[in-house]
Amino acid sequence: MSERPEWLDNAVFYEIYPQSFMDTDGDGIGNINGITQKLGYIKELGCTALWLNPCFCSPFMDAGYDVSDYCKVAPRYGTNDDLVRLFEEAHKLDMHVLLDLVPGHTSWEHPWFRESMKAERNEYTDRYVWTDSVWEEPTGYGSLRGISDRDGSCAVNFFTHQPALNYGFYKPERPWQQSMDSPGALSTREAIKDVMRFWLSRGCDGFRVDMAGSLVKNDEDGRGTIALWQDIRRFLDAEFPRAAMVSEWGEPDKSLLGGFHMDFLLHFGPSHYNDLFRCEAPYFGGHGDASAFVARYKESRERSGGKGLICIPSGNHDMDRLARHIKGDDRTLAFAFLLSVPGAPFIYYGDEIGMNYVEGLTSVEGGYGRTGSRSPMQWDDTANAGFSSAPADKLYIPIDPDADRPTVKAQLGDPHSLYSEVKRLISTRQAHKPLQSLGDIEFISDGKGCPLAYIRSLDGERILVFIDPTDGKNTMRFDGTPAEVLYHFGRDIEISDGCISSQGKTAVFVRL
Ligand code: NOJ
């Protein structure tokens, strides 16, 4: 395995949905220069790295996850030079930038796909997964049919306008299913390496990889896809050994084996992530149960050899805003958890001020129910919350109409705001290695109707994290003697040798 980019060990990421962060040219849509302009804000919060959602040419039927040119910044966001300048300015602040790599599919407008649709064989014929007759569908994947002179149906990877790139089948079963080492599958792999090479050689620090587990088909246990990523890691080790790789896979035992440094905990599938933040009675709302999450988390950590690099995001562009289900001070308790677990935390833009999910919006660019989580950043109390000088009806997505919507400006000056607590939590994490990405975690209470508590440890240092979102009295025993309270939020607590008592609604980190 490669040289680790050591900055990951203490990274706190900030996810930016470029459309909605900051518009500096008044067209109603965010841009790269807007991100560069706000780097100081992100740095001041304490974040050390960015993840940008795709900012490349696209017909934007899935907000840019339908790429039509991997190597060109979409004109609405600026130019390749603007993006390179963002890398440079971030580096000057000792920050790092991950781009979003979408290797599983392209837009149906991508020139590769236009060529692949042709009846005559050409360089791109095998770039996508096609059957050999329009009457046969590639079962299990969905398909595009009746749109080309080519006789065949093309598998799709997500929406129907996103044809699946061909990395081969782990176990080919039909004549049209190519093996992983067929020339077509190998040339797709090389083409994606070229895309990575293009951006890494211009200063990008790595990638968040979209649907990383979806590449090889008929690959139930992920063996083919793991082998494919191992090959990509070998290429990175040879040419860009410091490239950081974070997967959207949700199975760290597989993704870390494939050479990813970190994997996201997903909000779908078996993770029980939603039990904590997004359900009728979320644990951090004060009335829920975290035990199924804890059991699953432990299992997943064990399966991945305790490497601990499972990233738990505050939210993202695909799910409800944290603030939709968790209100008031409970949000700080949720952040106390997010900022004290292993793996790098990811803060979704605006979550640090408690931005709300905007209800009732019409879908924008394939957002559907996700649109309400993608509204413009709320900077201040000027027009359009300081996001853009465009007329309000020209904004990409309307601003949250709530008269009491939170803003950066109001929260920066308030020592009791959510922003200030998130900042205090980040700086506590950054000052104590056991709280960072690589520290171990041992749960001593699983949050079954009671506080959640765990010991983070590294190189003999131990920190007790105790988070009590309940509204009642709780007492818990632990092994150790309290030496120093590193962080405390909420109601009073009492700590003595091996015993902590709370009145509910509190979070405390104690060095033992
Ligand atoms: C996951 C991305 O996060 C989501 O926004 C996108 O729609 C799908 N992958 C398809 O690329």
> Is the same domain home to 266 and 339?
yes
Is residue 172 one of the residues assigned to a domain?
no
- The secondary structure element, H or E, covering residue 464 is strand 461-468
Structure tokens at 193: 């390496």
Query: What CATH number is associated with residue 242?
Result: 3.20.20.80
Place of tokens 């644990």: 283
- Of 381, 317, 378, 369, give the one whose Cα is nearest residue 347: 317
The CA-to-CA distance between both ends of the chain, in Å, stands at 34
- Please provide residue 285's backbone torsions phi and psi, each rounded to the nearest 5 degrees: -85, -10
Structure tokens at 189: 């792999």
Question: Which pLDDT score is estimated for 162?
Answer: 98
Q: Which atom of ligand 1 is nearest to the CA of 157?
A: 10
- Of 124, 122, 94, give the one whose Cα is nearest residue 111: 124
Question: Which pLDDT score is estimated for 1?
Answer: 52
126 lines ligand 1 (CB under 6 A): no
Query: What CATH number is associated with residue 504?
Result: 2.60.40.1180
Picking from 428, 452, 470, the residue at the C-terminal end of a domain is 428
**pLDDT tens, per residue, the chain with 512 residues:** 566 799 999 999 999 999 999 999 999 999 999 999 999 999 999 999 999 999 999 999 999 999 999 999 999 999 999 999 999 999 999 999 999 999 999 999 999 999 999 999 999 999 999 999 999 999 888 999 999 999 999 999 999 999 999 999 999 999 999 999 999 999 999 999 999 999 999 999 999 999 999 999 999 999 999 999 999 999 999 999 999 999 999 999 999 999 999 999 998 888 999 999 999 999 999 988 999 999 999 999 998 886 657 899 999 999 999 999 999 999 999 999 999 999 999 999 999 999 999 999 999 999 999 999 999 999 999 999 999 999 999 999 999 999 999 999 999 999 999 999 999 999 999 999 999 999 999 999 999 989 999 999 999 999 999 999 999 999 999 999 999 999 999 999 999 999 999 999 999 999 99
> Is the same domain home to 306 and 292?
yes
Q: Are β-strands 452-458 and 346-348 bridged in parallel, bridged antiparallel, or unpaired? A: unpaired
Q: What single-letter DSSP state applies at residue 2? A: P
Pocket probe for ligand 1: among 105, 210, 268, the residue whose CB has the most ligand atoms within 8 Å is 210
Q: With a threshold of 0.75, does the pTM exceed it?
A: yes
Question: Which pLDDT score is estimated for 2?
Answer: 60
Beta bridge partner(s), residue 475: 501
Question: Which pLDDT score is estimated for 308?
Answer: 57
Its domain, for residue 461, covers: 440-511
Q: Which atom of ligand 1 is nearest to the CA of 316?
A: 3
Ligand 1 centroid vs 261 CA: distance in angstroms? 20
Place of tokens 């001070």: 329
Is residue 493 one of the residues assigned to a domain?
yes
From atom 3 of ligand 1, which residue's Cα is the shortest distance away? 318
> Is the same domain home to 307 and 390?
yes
Question: Which pLDDT score is estimated for 415?
Answer: 97
> Is the same domain home to 84 and 217?
yes
| Rounded Cα distance, 384 and 124, in Å | 45
365 lines ligand 1 (CB under 6 A): no
> Is the same domain home to 36 and 154?
no
E-only strand ranges, 330-439: 346-348
Q: Which atom of ligand 1 is nearest to the CA of 370?
A: 5
Beta bridge partner(s), residue 51: 15, 98
Picking from 116, 133, 164, the residue at the C-terminal end of a domain is 164
412 lines ligand 1 (CB under 6 A): no
> Is the same domain home to 280 and 237?
yes
Q: Which atom of ligand 1 is nearest to the CA of 158?
A: 10
> Is the same domain home to 121 and 135?
yes
17 lines ligand 1 (CB under 6 A): no
The domain tally of the chain equals 3
Ligand 1 centroid vs 444 CA: distance in angstroms? 36
100 lines ligand 1 (CB under 6 A): no
Is residue 66 one of the residues assigned to a domain?
yes
> Is the same domain home to 471 and 506?
yes
Is residue 174 one of the residues assigned to a domain?
no
Pocket probe for ligand 1: among 17, 65, 156, the residue whose CB has the most ligand atoms within 8 Å is 65
Q: CA 51, 57, 62, 65 torsion: positive or negative?
A: negative
Place of tokens 């000088």: 389
Is residue 304 one of the residues assigned to a domain?
yes
- Please provide residue 88's backbone torsions phi and psi, each rounded to the nearest 5 degrees: -65, -45
Question: Which pLDDT score is estimated for 287?
Answer: 87
| Rounded Cα distance, 367 and 252, in Å | 27
CB-based contact 189:197 (threshold 8 Å) = no
CB-based contact 451:476 (threshold 8 Å) = yes
Question: Which pLDDT score is estimated for 141?
Answer: 83
Question: Which pLDDT score is estimated for 139?
Answer: 84
Q: Which atom of ligand 1 is nearest to the CA of 102?
A: 11
| Rounded Cα distance, 179 and 279, in Å | 42
> Is the same domain home to 128 and 263?
no
297 lines ligand 1 (CB under 6 A): no
> Is the same domain home to 96 and 110?
no
Is residue 169 one of the residues assigned to a domain?
no
> Is the same domain home to 246 and 359?
yes
**AA identity, residue 193:** K
| Rounded Cα distance, 456 and 428, in Å | 13
158 lines ligand 1 (CB under 6 A): yes
Q: Which atom of ligand 1 is nearest to the CA of 105?
A: 11
| Rounded Cα distance, 444 and 435, in Å | 16
Is residue 464 one of the residues assigned to a domain?
yes
- The secondary structure element, H or E, covering residue 70 is strand 69-73
Picking from 361, 393, 428, the residue at the C-terminal end of a domain is 428
- Of 102, 99, 98, give the one whose Cα is nearest residue 48: 98
Query: What CATH number is associated with residue 126?
Result: 3.90.400.10
CB-based contact 37:392 (threshold 8 Å) = no
> Is the same domain home to 125 and 69?
no
478 lines ligand 1 (CB under 6 A): no
Is residue 284 one of the residues assigned to a domain?
yes
15 lines ligand 1 (CB under 6 A): no
Ligand 1 centroid vs 198 CA: distance in angstroms? 22
